[in-house]
Structure 1
Amino acid sequence: MQKNTLLKILFSFLFFSQMGYSQVDVVYNDLVWSDEFGTDGAVNPNNWFHQTQIPEGGSWYNNEIQHYTNLLTNSFVDAGSLNIVAKKESFTDQGVTKQYTSARLNSKFAFKYGRVDIRAKAPNGSGTWPALWLLGKNINEDGGYFDATYGNKNWPACGELDIMEHGIFTDKPKNYIGSAIHTTSSSGNTVNKGGIQASDIEQNYHVYSMNWSPNQISFLLDDVLYYTYNPSVKNASTWPFDQEQYLLLNIAMGGFAGTIPSNFTETSMVIDYVRVYQNTTVDTEAPTSFTATVGKVSGSAVELLLNALDNSGNITYTATYGSGTSVTFSPSGASKSFLISGLSPNTNYTFSVSATDATGNSAVNNPIVLNAKTTEIFECSGTDSEASEGLFSQGYKYAFETIGTDVKITFELLDTDKIGVVAYLRKQTPFSETQMTNVSGKIFTQTITGQTTGSTINYAVKFAFEGGLSVTKYFSYLVGNSCSLGVETSSELKQFYFPNPVEDKLYLELLDEENHIVLTDILGQKLFEDEVKSFHTIDMSAFKTGLYFLRVKNSLGTQNFKISKK
């Protein structure tokens, strides 16, 4: 069994420093609080508080059926480990009799930002729900350690961070451990989550870790990253994690964990250590070699190419533009592609970009000012795979259609590896989320009413599924644009372009003697623009294989054509 020796802690963080840069945004090195459980008997009262008060109504949350006690039979230290024991036994407390007992420990230590490492064995039997987690110090929960002094926020406004849970994932195999984020943006539901299959968690020790920075929250099993929470918009609804949180260790029984076997007698969670790391050494060294340039530009997004060096190993980049601000981060010396999405088409933008380290030290040449103009948006429907959060394995289809003063928005998730999919329509400004209606399969729709013709709207879709979520890029749509859904009008049928797919030359037969044409790639980047007659030839022999968009504007109006290049 590992114990807290200076040599082992030094070794572990030498290892983390080598592995962590590629997995987490901020590496925390200084041990600020721990319990190594070195003294047998009762848990250290300076570190832990037994939460035993039953919530109003006489039952614990989620239909759990245990009493939490401060008895030595439910929590004790033995041979260098904390044992939390759930038992089948009749026990009466606070005037209520229950048939199971367990322990729920609150740390008397709360902190903001850092890394938590907990080395533990956890029960994996049916009906048991072991958990290692955190709650906001400001939670209004009668009986909690911090409630009387700091409790001014109801759950989930206080924020909840679940480092490890087992036994509540009915569609997952045994030894699948999960992590989750609970906030008001998800109405407290388990939407923002991730998980990983572990080797036998009851027989084997694992290190369950959470790395929490101002930018993101990452979860790791045995120092392997498996889930990161990083909402594109951070506010009180999505990010209550700018306040201190405290640790909880417990085993719940029944409820979401399912039926308890009739032959159950007791089970234990054995915890070798709990360690919290932060960076306490003052860093005065500012980032150097900061560069920023403009990359690809589309109708709704501008790519910024960023790089800088810093001794902390990580750089935070902040881009301000008009009333907007976007933040990203990247390891020191790594080129970062930062996509600013949700922009208006055909618009000049000035970006003021700064680089800072985790301490807030600013690069000497802050800020770098960049100018870019977004292109026109020609497509109301199509296929894409770009994500503003998470990843897509195949991508998604999108379509915008104006119906009177309403806009119907439809998205289809193409990923075949996602199950239990729920979709939420995200409005960029002001930020909001609305659950979409499932049409069939993985097709979802939502109609927004009372829109003004000629105005530009910006929306993305969050697909939540078992094990995580992925968010599309933001799409800008001009209300009233008639190119939606790719349906040809009668005038489009009379204007010809052939062959399609094209290998060398694309021939146009148009109905007007004066035509304005624009060719763009799939990202919306303009390749050429010209004024042409009714019969015209476009030489596409030099273009790469792929999908292109041709916009034709004449007296008949504007039509958009998809061109496939062999």
Structure 2
Amino acid sequence: MQKNTAFRILVSFFLTQCCLAQVDVVYSDLVWSDEFSVNGPVNATNWFHQTQLPVGGSWFNGEVQHYTDSQTNSFVDAGLLNIVAKKEIYTDQGITKAYTSARLNSKFAFKYGRVDIRAKLPLESGTWPAIWMLGKNVNEPGAYFSAAYGTTNWPACGETDIMEHGIFPSQSINYIQSTLHTPSSYGNSVNSGGTIASDLANNYHVYSMNWSPFQISFLLDNVVYYTYNPAVKNDSTWPFDKEQYLLLNIAMGGIAGNISPTFTQNAMLIDYVRVYQNTTVDTQAPANFTAAVGAVTGSSVQLLLNATDNSGMLEYNVAYGALNNTSSGMSGVQKSVVISGLSPNTNYTFTVSANDLAGNTAANSPIVLNATTGELVQCGGNSSEAQQGSFSTGYNYTFQTIGTDVKITFELLDTDKVGLVAYLWKQSPFIESQMTNVSGNTFTKTISGQTAGSTINYAVKFAYAGGLSVTKYISYVVGSNCALGTTTPSELKQFSFPNPVEDVLHLQLSDHQNKIFLTDILGRMQLKSVVTSSHNLDMSSYKSGIYFLRVENSHGIQNLKIIKK
């Protein structure tokens, strides 16, 4: 296909102008490409043919092909790279197989940037075309970088699947998917997202990945359809802070399913491969840096950050105790950073700095902020009761109210489950939604727009290799707090009246000495006191709204919803 300099400039302009809202960092300098403009063998300066079989004599996932360096399996013609999978008897490394294909490694590795690959895919049953990346440090004998840099096993090296097709039998024939494989989730990874393209067999599409220090986004024809941005970035969730290289291949069979008996050959046609980064030296530091405390709950503090920079992007680093939180923000746009997992009733000091991606630091960095968390508004417990399947040990659960959101967390205590994923079940109307893996067997999901005092009912389906187990439905009153004990309102003969209250709330409690805690709808502590069995609580100065009164005494804990007129 005809390609020229003007076209490249147009593409660079298009990336800069149209995609700013699509991705967090716009990369516009072309640093490596192959336009496939010379007919014949694949350019050996750019590409390496990976042909060495893994230990055991077969490629992974039950695939049945040999990868070869034959020009019949990979070649350039009329401006297109042809990666051809063929049905043919082929013997290599002492092993005979019935199919051949090609697997190309780029001889270029990079960290952070954007990849654009324009391609047309084979759709025949049993074909598995893929455009993907592996860490340069992967220990995979036969891979281009492995001999010199292979220090890390898969998946700790990180795998970035930009596009895969043919291994999703329940999806449309035009469905493609992007997936991240990390130590925290791999194989049937939960870190994936897909979309449906238009007529993959006959149309070329641009498959893109935009990789910044903060997140990885995947695009089809310049439209983002999935972004990976784990809340905690460490070796388990984010091995994507090291160089990776590109792979292009078609696998046959295995999890791609049965190969059509009429299959003879098919090809993935690639028009171009382009990698963009930002190479211009930036010496201008961020300006107008401000930082302030926003909403505070029993387990989180919101920080409101802003700065301007000529690059258009900022990196904010928040240090507190021995921990750090790093996130990105757009120049001149207020960034909300919520620091979660904090202890209730605790003072925290946050040291905040603003940098650009070149490492220039705002002149007034760091800014030091202090905030004290409120009372934790949550309920929790554990059970081994199942409505489907069974639990050998059981599960822990917590429901935490954060403003008008409820964060639901379940931990499976059974230790014999492999390939574990979790789905949150809403009882009525029934809705199933995937939960996020926090660590180990702990999963969480936050539901928004909840009404204080309303009752919600949720269960969790744990799916794993060989089966599934579903917890019982658990009821939670939004805004209630039973974190310090068991709530037994039916057994406690305690009263508060009138309710709604205008001035004085009369309390009739069970003990001569009782602890009471009054919080507002956001979980902020309004009052703590020790009172006798008969007590009048003056609420005349409180604003109208919903409050929660927790009573602690020798009989247990009771939570009361109070409405102030």
Q: Same fold (TM over 0.5)?
A: yes
Change (3 A) 1:19 1:526: farther
- Following superposition, the deviation at residue 268 of structure 1 comes to 1.2
Decide whether the 8 Å contact of 2:379 with 2:482 is kept in 1.
Answer: no
- Following superposition, the deviation at residue 88 of structure 1 comes to 1.5
Change (3 A) 1:548 1:281: same
Which residue is 1:74 aligned to?
73
Change (3 A) 1:411 1:63: closer
- Code of the residue aligned with 2:198 in structure 1: it is S
- Code of the residue aligned with 1:179 in structure 2: it is S
Decide whether the 8 Å contact of 1:91 with 1:100 is kept in 2.
Answer: yes
Give the Cα separation in 2 of the matches to 1:120 and 1:543.
Answer: 61
Q: Deviations over 1:409-445 (max 9, x none)?
A: x995549897584774x3xxxxx422679xx994269
Which residue is 2:395 aligned to?
none
Which residue is 1:534 aligned to?
535
- In structure 1, the residue corresponding to 2:551 is in which secondary structure? strand
Decide whether the 8 Å contact of 2:409 with 2:443 is kept in 1.
Answer: no
Which residue is 1:46 aligned to?
45
- Following superposition, the deviation at residue 29 of structure 1 comes to 1.4
Q: Could you tell me which runs of 5 or more consecutive residues in structure 1 were left unpaired when the two chains were aligned.
A: 401-409, 427-431, 446-464, 466-477
Decide whether the 8 Å contact of 1:309 with 1:332 is kept in 2.
Answer: yes
- Following superposition, the deviation at residue 549 of structure 1 comes to 2.6
Decide whether the 8 Å contact of 1:503 with 1:541 is kept in 2.
Answer: no
Which residue is 1:209 aligned to?
208
Which residue is 1:404 aligned to?
none
Instruction: State the TM-score, normalizing by the size of structure 2.
Output: 0.81
1:439-454 equivalent positions in 2, closer than 5 A: 442-443=459-460
- In structure 2, the residue corresponding to 1:490 is in which secondary structure? coil
Give the Cα separation in 1 of the matches to 2:73 and 2:229.
Answer: 37
Which residue is 1:323 aligned to?
322
Change (3 A) 1:30 1:509: same
Q: Does 1:433 align with 2:434?
A: no
Stretch of structure 1 that moved more, 81-90 or 127-136: 81-90
1:96-245 equivalent positions in 2, closer than 5 A: 96-245=95-244
- Code of the residue aligned with 2:259 in structure 1: it is I
**What is the alpha-carbon root mean square deviation over aligned residues?**
3.4
- Code of the residue aligned with 1:519 in structure 2: it is L
1:282-321 equivalent positions in 2, closer than 5 A: 282-321=281-320
**Equivalent position to 1:481, from 480, 484, 487:** 484
- Code of the residue aligned with 1:168 in structure 2: it is I
Decide whether the 8 Å contact of 1:497 with 1:506 is kept in 2.
Answer: no
Change (3 A) 1:506 1:556: farther
Which residue is 1:468 aligned to?
none
Give the Cα separation in 1 of the matches to 2:71 and 2:351.
Answer: 59
Which residue is 1:405 aligned to?
none
Decide whether the 8 Å contact of 2:519 with 2:548 is kept in 1.
Answer: yes
**Number of residue pairs matched by the alignment:** 506
Change (3 A) 1:215 1:537: same
- Code of the residue aligned with 2:96 in structure 1: it is T
Give the Cα separation in 1 of the matches to 2:442 and 2:344.
Answer: 27
Change (3 A) 1:92 1:506: farther
- In structure 2, the residue corresponding to 1:148 is in which secondary structure? helix
Change (3 A) 1:50 1:442: farther
Q: Could you tell me which runs of 5 or more consecutive residues in structure 2 were left unpaired when the two chains were aligned.
A: 381-397, 412-421, 445-456, 463-467, 469-480
Q: Does 1:19 align with 2:36?
A: no
Change (3 A) 1:519 1:123: farther
- In structure 1, the residue corresponding to 2:306 is in which secondary structure? strand
Share of identical aligned residues, percent?
57
1:466-545 equivalent positions in 2, closer than 5 A: 481-483=484-486, 486-488=487-489, 490-491=491-492, 494-497=493-496, 502=500, 507-511=505-509, 517-527=516-526, 534-536=535-537, 538=539, 542-543=543-544
Change (3 A) 1:398 1:217: closer
Instruction: State the TM-score, normalizing by the size of structure 1.
Output: 0.81
Change (3 A) 1:423 1:296: closer
Give the Cα separation in 1 of the matches to 2:528 and 2:378.
Answer: 17
Give the Cα separation in 1 of the matches to 2:361 and 2:165.
Answer: 42
1:452-471 equivalent positions in 2, closer than 5 A: none
Decide whether the 8 Å contact of 2:488 with 2:556 is kept in 1.
Answer: no
- Code of the residue aligned with 1:482 in structure 2: it is G
